[in-house]
Amino acid sequence: MVMEELFMKLARYELNGTIGYGIVDGNNIKTLDACPFTDFNETGDTVALEDVKLLAPTKPSKVLAVGLNYRSHLGDAPEPQNPEIFFKAPSCINNPGGDVVLPSGDDDVHAEGELVVIMKERTQKATPDEAAANILGVTCGNDVSARTWQSNDLQWWRAKASDTFGPMGPFIATDVDYGNLQLETRINDDVVQSQTTGDLIFPVPVIVSFISQAITLEPGDVVYTGTPGTTTALKAGDVVEVEIEGIGVLSNPIVA
């Protein structure tokens, strides 16, 4: 694997009907000969960012998420003893700029800005240190949540995993200090969440290690790590932006 520098921003994109991967370099993308979850090299070619459609930076086999992972989000609930893990369906993954579609059966849908972990290596029964070594990088995510369904259904299969409920992107940032990044969620430019990932109850390596004791994580799999503070209901016409220091801005319009 060729890296010109330790820190990179990696993009997955579509151009003329072809999906590619590359290293973001200013307003351009240096194209790669393979996906970043395997060994890869730069091809020597570049494409302009403005000419491509950015895609969710991975197409995971599994999407896991953590609930109640910021003290500011606990309300009256006690602090959990272990990471509280749930599944989102891989089919919920949404691209940067993709429409989040409000369902007709739940009129209390909220945005949840989150740091998302993307795996590089197959990870099974790993220690926290081993888990950290197997992480490719992190990106921005929005764990869109339909609250009525979340409260009333036996499981959160549609509350958390309806189509379009997993926006992710725009880039994978490698070698950032994901334990101390500023996260901000905005709805129509109004800040509704602002906190540092240093306030996570369970840090990223502990989360990944805990999951790996029961479920093997594969390259490209993702983990949403939890949302801070209170969350805000969405309506058609809103635009949600999740910005995380060192990564970029994930923006998605809300539609009926």
- Full 3-state SS string of 208-228: HHHHHCCCCECCCCEEECCCC
pTM reported for the whole predicted model: 0.95
Tell whether the model's pLDDT for residue 182 goes beyond 80: yes
Residues of the domain holding 31: 9-55
Is residue 2 included in any domain, yes or no? Answer: no
Question: How confident is the model over 117-157, as pLDDT tens digits?
Answer: 999 999 999 999 999 999 999 999 999 999 999 999 999 99
Are 96 and 170 in contact by the 8 Å Cβ rule? The answer is yes
Are 149 and 120 in contact by the 8 Å Cβ rule? The answer is no
Residue 99, burial from CB neighbour count under 10 angstroms (0-12, 13-18, 19+):
middle
Q: Could you tell me if 78 and 22 lie in one domain? A: no
Is residue 103 included in any domain, yes or no? Answer: yes
Q: Could you tell me if 45 and 82 lie in one domain? A: no
Give the per-residue pLDDT at 77.
81
Which residues is 94 bridged to in the sheet? 167
Question: How confident is the model over 201-249, as pLDDT tens digits?
Answer: 999 999 999 999 999 999 999 999 999 999 999 999 999 999 999 999 9
- Concatenated DSSP letters of 95-117: -TTPPEEPPTT-S-EEE-EEEEE
Structurally, how many domains does the chain consist of? 2
Q: Could you tell me if 145 and 197 lie in one domain? A: yes
Q: Could you tell me if 75 and 39 lie in one domain? A: no
Q: Could you tell me if 48 and 128 lie in one domain? A: no
Q: Could you tell me if 27 and 137 lie in one domain? A: no
Q: Could you tell me if 42 and 72 lie in one domain? A: no
Give the per-residue pLDDT at 73.
87
Q: Could you tell me if 18 and 85 lie in one domain? A: no
Q: Could you tell me if 73 and 51 lie in one domain? A: no
Tell whether the model's pLDDT for residue 171 goes beyond 50: yes
Phi-psi region of 69 (alpha: psi -120 to 50; beta: other; left: phi over 0): alpha
168-110-69 Cα angle (round to 5) = 70
At 5, is the pLDDT very low, low, confident or very high (cuts 50, 70, 90)?
very low
Give the per-residue pLDDT at 6.
58
Domain boundary, last residue among 55, 76, 92: 55
